[in-house]
Amino acid sequence: MTPDQLAAAVRGAVLAAIGDGDLALDPSQVPAEVTVERPRNPEHGDYATNVALQLAKPAGSNPRAVAEAVAARLREADGVAKVDIAGPGFLNVTLDAASLGELARTVVTAGEGYGRIDRYAGTRVNVEFISANPTGPLHLGHTRWAAVGDAIARVLEAAGADVAREFYINDRGVQMDKFGMSLEARALGTDVPEGGYQGAYVDELAQQIVAADPGIVGLPADERLVAFREAGYALQLQQQKDTLDGFNTHFDVWYSERTLHSSGAVDRGFEKLREQGHMFEADGAVWLRTTDFDDDKDRVLVKADGELTYFASDTAYYVDKRNRGFDVCIYLLGADHHGYVNRLRAVAACAGDDPDYNIEVLIGQLVKMFKGGEEVRLSKRAGNIITLEDLVEEVGVDAARYSLIRYPADSPLTLDLDLLVQRSNDNPVFYVQYAHARISSVLRNAGDLGIDWRSADFDAALLDHEREAALLGVIGELPRVVGAAAELREPHRVARYLEELATAYHKFYDACRVLPGADAELEPINVARLWLCGAARQTLANGLAMLGVSAPERM
């Protein structure tokens, strides 16, 4: 029995009590989804529900009396072994071992589909993250978003959404010219201009550009600058793409700010905003009246000199996303951009959309790295920033991704590199992966012994050990963890869940022998436990996939 099935049974018991006149409620007052939780304390059974506490007030009764009425019916439900009333009115439910154990079959049968839900079926979501300038390597802040943004996308997909990962290329504006000038200066051996780009990577790019096109240095000055800028843009963008590829983060759309302008999207965006009546002219400039919607000041779209602002691109880009059919546009921004939240929400409202549904701006706090007790600030290649490659070089892709995803994005994060390379419990990615590898080993050994557990009779009722029940209970939580992680855009919940699952497996493994001993016959309990192992392995693998972290069979 799955938690959802139990929740439905609880709801049925409540409705039955109402039908019998034991609860003075209208059926419409019963929540569509009853909350069923796994109690922290195993003495409280397999599951607990607080319906009685919730319904006591509307029923004009006390929680324990409501609990009595519900418990009496719930005890009759299939698969329910015991129902106790505890504390202020919690119902503690214990399932039959057979009913709980059937979950192992459910999971193994569902395979990679286990944990996938349909909550967001039919919803098109655009997740935009990183969106760096193509003028340098990706830094540590980008890296956090690369991991978290991709994990959010994966979790939303698991929850049924149709998701596009999008990278907005800031390839328009003065920073591009500064980039070109910096490359040119390096190639010609002159000084990098004020505010230009520093770091060894600029030299490398300049050398590559000249090597690929030696004639570039002989071009007229204005053509030469453009040539360096464009060549550097292409190389740097490709480098970012390759880096992200290696980081297991793959974008569906690379959207250039230049094409936003050249395609007429800006004009279409302005048209939309004008229709909605929020544009106005003042002091020779064109404005968007974002103060209609909680922004603290109105924003300029077209400057008095006729130039478009960066904000103009933002508005057009949002409208363009919606025109491309996305229902929900999620933006992941660094903490230094939190001032943009209200104006972006105002953009959506100005476009006639619902800022509480169609747009969502998530703010991520900064990341610091420590090594040897000191903060790491410098990158060999990129000057005074730490790059994605620096982190991966230190700890590997799996540990880097996992460590960045494991914490809520809105809390500042300090990574201790000395711990991340350790293969200890303090480095949970190994703890989780180890559980997967360990199960894989057991299943391999079963195969070597000629045991075909999938074809053997599986008696779920044999899984009645305390730690078997505990493991089954955790396995059963995945779909609900996915639901919470997707709804809250918090993939760290999946990571925390996997750690709990790994712990439950290790405890089970410590107490319960899976394979027959040296001279022992294959018993039904061995088969049942192999099913349980198979279910645990599948659940770990599915969860790790949602984080973009590998599930190794050997370590």
Q: Which of residues 465-524 bind RNA (CB under 7 A)?
A: 480, 483-484, 487-488, 490, 492-493, 496, 499, 502-503, 506-507, 509-515, 517-518, 520
Binding residue for RNA, selected from 300, 397, 417, 528, defined by CB under 7 A: 300
How many Cα atoms sit within 13 Å of 139 on the Cβ side? 20
331/509 with CB nearer RNA: 509
484/545 with CB nearer RNA: 484
201/430 with CB nearer RNA: 430
CA distance 50 to 67: 9
- 């397999």: which residue's tokens? 46
CA distance 453 to 526: 9
Task: Rule CB under 7 A: say whether 39 interacts with RNA.
Answer: yes
Taking a C-beta distance cutoff of 8 angstroms, is the pair 37, 4 a contact?
no
Sheet holding 36-37, edge to edge: 36-37, 47-49, 90-95, 80-86
Binding residue for RNA, selected from 21, 118, 122, 174, defined by CB under 7 A: 174
Task: Rule CB under 7 A: say whether 41 interacts with RNA.
Answer: yes
Reported as type and span, the H/E element at residue 222 is helix 221-246
Which residues are 370's β-sheet partners?
Answer: 375, 416
Total of chain residues touching RNA, rule CB under 7 A: 97
CB of 182 to RNA, least distance (A): 15
Task: Rule CB under 7 A: say whether 413 interacts with RNA.
Answer: yes
Name the E strands within 174-276.
253-256
Task: Rule CB under 7 A: say whether 434 interacts with RNA.
Answer: yes
Reported as type and span, the H/E element at residue 92 is strand 90-95
Task: Rule CB under 7 A: say whether 374 interacts with RNA.
Answer: no
Within 79-108, the residues that bind RNA by CB under 7 A are 86-88, 90, 92
CA distance 173 to 134: 12
Residue among 60, 62, 57, 15 at smallest CA distance from 34: 15
Task: Rule CB under 7 A: say whether 33 interacts with RNA.
Answer: no
Task: Rule CB under 7 A: say whether 553 interacts with RNA.
Answer: yes
Instruction: For the chain, give percent helix, strand, coil, nearest 5.
Output: 55, 15, 30
19/31 with CB nearer RNA: 31
Give the contact letters, 263-292, x = binds to RNA (CB under 7 A), - = no: -------------------xxxx-------
Residue 103 token pair: 């979950």
| Nearby residues of 214 by Cβ (< 8 Å), 6 or more positions away | none
Task: Say whether 274 sits in a helix, a strand or coil.
Answer: helix
Which residues are 91's β-sheet partners?
Answer: 49, 85
Task: Rule CB under 7 A: say whether 303 interacts with RNA.
Answer: yes
- 């936003």: which residue's tokens? 260
Taking a C-beta distance cutoff of 8 angstroms, is the pair 291, 344 a contact?
no
CB of 98 to RNA, least distance (A): 23
61/216 with CB nearer RNA: 61
Stretch that binds RNA, among 33-41, 67-75, 220-228, 346-354 (CB under 7 A): 33-41
242/336 with CB nearer RNA: 336
Reported as type and span, the H/E element at residue 500 is helix 492-511
Task: Rule CB under 7 A: say whether 226 interacts with RNA.
Answer: no
CB of 483 to RNA, least distance (A): 6
Binding residue for RNA, selected from 271, 309, 324, 545, defined by CB under 7 A: 309
CB of 258 to RNA, least distance (A): 11
31/246 with CB nearer RNA: 31
Task: Rule CB under 7 A: say whether 133 interacts with RNA.
Answer: yes
Task: Rule CB under 7 A: say whether 48 interacts with RNA.
Answer: yes
Task: Rule CB under 7 A: say whether 44 interacts with RNA.
Answer: yes
Stretch that binds RNA, among 3-11, 103-111, 240-248, 306-314 (CB under 7 A): 306-314
Task: Rule CB under 7 A: say whether 293 interacts with RNA.
Answer: no
Residue 405 token pair: 């995803």
Taking a C-beta distance cutoff of 8 angstroms, is the pair 545, 482 a contact?
no
Give the contact letters, 347-366, x = binds to RNA (CB under 7 A), - = no: ----------------x-xx
